[in-house]
Amino acid sequence: MGWLADETGLERTAANYVPLTPLSHLQRAAHVFAQDTAVIYGGVRHSYSAYYDRCTRLAAALAGMGVKPGDVVATLLPNIPAQAEAHFGVPACGAVLNTINIRLDVDTVAYIFDHGGAKVALVDSEVLALAEAAKAQMEGDGPILIEVPDAEARISASGRHVTYEDLLAEAPPAFDWIMPEDEWESLALNYTSGTTGRPKGVVCHHRGAYLMTMGTVISWRLQMRPVYLTIVPLFHCNGWNHTWMMPVLGGTVVCCRNITAAAIYDAIADEGVSHFGGAPIVLNMLVNAKPQDRRAFDHTVEVFTAGAPPAPATLTKIEALGFHVTQVYGLTETYGHVTECLWKGAEWNMLDTTGRAAVKARQGVAFPMMEEVTVLDDTLAQVAKDGTAQGEIVMRGNSVMKGYLKNPEATAEAFAGGYFHSGDIAVQHPDGYIQIADRAKDIIISGGENISSVEIEGVLMAHPDVNLAAVVAKPDEKWGEVPCAFVELKEGATVDEAGLIDFARRTLAGFKAPKAVIFEELPKTSTGKIQKFELRKRFKTF
């Protein structure tokens, strides 16, 4: 309580207090970086001056349609410029941005439209039918749809709705942005993927997004004018807030509609992409790319990966190709990443390839904008930092959500004891680095022994024929559960079930080796996470 004895006249004023918001970054960039390139999408290139103008027109158009401060505006868009513009244009009219996953089913989209109460939705032509069907099954009218065709991808407008470019063209370019008066005002509404039950609406505030951008600059070692490729969908934690961050650095956002190895290599070689984030499956895609899809480049590309620990074998291979990979960890409830596996200079430089990959599999330590990220037991006591004792990852700090929309019970439960509870089970190493032991559900209990499915997956991924592997518990009369592996092989690979099990036994204790291997393409979420719950379901019908 550092209040001086006499603080007369020392109150907040317009001169010394401005609510924190990522909107300030683009307002500054429109002046400071006016002629630098803000957005690239195929042949489209917008300077910061043009980007600011387009976002302003979007805000003006929405306000003209009757969108009021605090109203919700949804998007159903892939990573195209309109989605980046919505990140500034929607809050610039005081509205709350609700990016919706374009791969959801009609029922869930209808639920989100209804629960979030979007007044307007910007919808890509390719998923227009989804939005229309969702509206049709709602009781009320649902949001007004603005259609976003995509000339670059040769996707034309249906003619059934006003288009995004027409909307911008007709909007008055002079519009004063409605800046937050309180940095706790709501900026974004993101629905969790909700593998069980209805998705929950995570509400984010301006302050958290601003601080997330500042902390990420530090952790990702970003310098002026980076070139960022949007691989993480912007409908997933607002693309980890990277689009809100770019203007503070005068950086360029390279939009990518379809994520393929060829598209990524082209963006690196042609546009000089320096940074991107993506699930380990993206790393895998780059490592296993066909020769004709690869391009040469002579800079190092900084990669944030999250969603699952990258397999040591993948890490080793991708770094040799010119990518520097840092694992980060977070949730929709924390705006994206809040821990990073911060490289420990001298100590880790001495490690061999295997040792390096092993430490890189850790989720690491708190980002700069977080106050504390640690592992607590059931009684909220710190677990022993011995790499063995397990507990739940909890965190507190300024990039934690406000709570769940219209769900105070779930919010209170998530924040019990003054921490946000991640639901992820982890150990903490003596240096404080966190490592996810396993999602609680992913622990296989076989003959009373706990087996980590992640450990088995890491071993299988090291086999030269394996593209992807996922291990789940299979019911077993004798052992209760045994590990069963689902494996995606590379093209032309020949290894069979016995061969893979034998390969695993060379490294793993016998009880940890998979007892069955099923070869097939693995089910994945839109962000590339393997849907283990889908694999587990398979055994419920056996």
Q: Which of residues 284-343 bind a copy of itself (CB under 8 A)?
A: 342
Question: How many Å apart are CA 346 and CA 341, to the nearest integer?
Answer: 15
Nearer to a copy of itself, 195 or 223 (CB): 223
Q: Does 397 bind a copy of itself (CB under 8 A)?
A: yes
Residues forming beta bridges with residue 163, ordered by sequence position: 147
Distance CA 233, CA 278 (A): 9
Instruction: Compute the half-sphere exposure of residue 291: CA atoms within 13 Å on the CB side of its CA.
Output: 0
Is 206 among the residues that bind a copy of itself (CB under 8 A)? yes
Contact between 405 and a copy of itself (CB under 8 A)?
A: yes
| Residues 460 to 519 in contact with a copy of itself, rule: CB under 8 A | none
Q: How far is the CB of 22 from a copy of itself (least distance, A)?
A: 11
Contact segment (CB under 8 A) with a copy of itself among 143-151, 206-214, 264-272, 498-506 equals 206-214
Instruction: Give Cα separations from 14 to 11, 179, 181, 331 (angstroms).
Output: 10, 13, 11, 35
Single out the residue of 403, 483, 514, 528 in contact with a copy of itself (rule: CB under 8 A): 403
Please, which residues bridge with residue 72 across strands? Answer: 96, 118
Q: Which of 279, 295, 282 is nearest to 328 (CA)?
A: 279
Of 118 and 268, the one with the shorter C-beta distance to a copy of itself is: 118
Q: Which of residues 137-196 bind a copy of itself (CB under 8 A)?
A: 178, 180-182, 184-187, 189
Which residues, 338 to 377, sit near a copy of itself by CB under 8 A?
342, 345, 347, 365-366, 368, 371
Nearest residue to 44 (alpha-carbon basis) of 226, 245, 215, 256: 256
Q: Does 420 bind a copy of itself (CB under 8 A)?
A: yes
Least distance from a copy of itself to the Cβ atom of residue 230, Å: 21
Tell me if 4 contacts a copy of itself by CB under 8 A. Answer: yes
| Cβ-based burial of 267 (10 A; exposed 0-12, middle 13-18, buried ≥19) | buried
| Contacts (CB under 8 A) with a copy of itself, residues 216-235 | 217-218, 221, 223-225
Nearest approach, Cβ of 36 to a copy of itself (angstroms)? 7
Tell the smallest beta-carbon distance from residue 256 to a copy of itself (Å): 24
C-alpha pair distances (Å), 140 with each of 73, 111, 128, 144, 418: 16, 12, 18, 12, 38
> What is the DSSP track for 471-522?
EEEEEETTTEEEEEEEEEEPTT----HHHHHHHHHTTS-GGGS-SEEEESPP
Provide the minimum distance between the beta carbon of 99 and a copy of itself in the complex, in angstroms, as a whole number. Answer: 15
Contact 260, 61 (CB under 8 A): no
Other CB atoms within a 10 A radius of the CB of residue 361 amount to 19
Longest dimension (CA), the chain: 79
Residue with tokens 């980890």: 240
43 makes contact with a copy of itself (CB under 8 A):
no
Nearer to a copy of itself, 42 or 69 (CB): 69
- The H or E element containing residue 413 is helix 408-414
20 touches a copy of itself (CB under 8 A)? yes
Least distance to a copy of itself, CB of residue 394, Å: 8
CB of 32 to a copy of itself, least distance (A): 5
Q: Which is nearer to a copy of itself, 46 or 161 (CB)?
A: 46
**Which positions from 66 through 95 interact with a copy of itself, judged by CB under 8 A?**
69-70, 72, 91, 94-95
Kindly state the number of chain residues that form the binding site for a copy of itself, as judged by CB under 8 A.
Answer: 87
Q: What are the C-alpha distances in Å from 419 to residues 106, 375, 398, 409, 413?
A: 35, 11, 12, 15, 10
Q: Does 49 bind a copy of itself (CB under 8 A)?
A: no
When the beta carbons of 1 and 350 are compared against a copy of itself, the nearer one is: 1
Are the C-beta atoms of residues 453 and 509 closer than 8 Å to each other? no
Positions in 247-276 near a copy of itself (CB under 8 A): 248-249
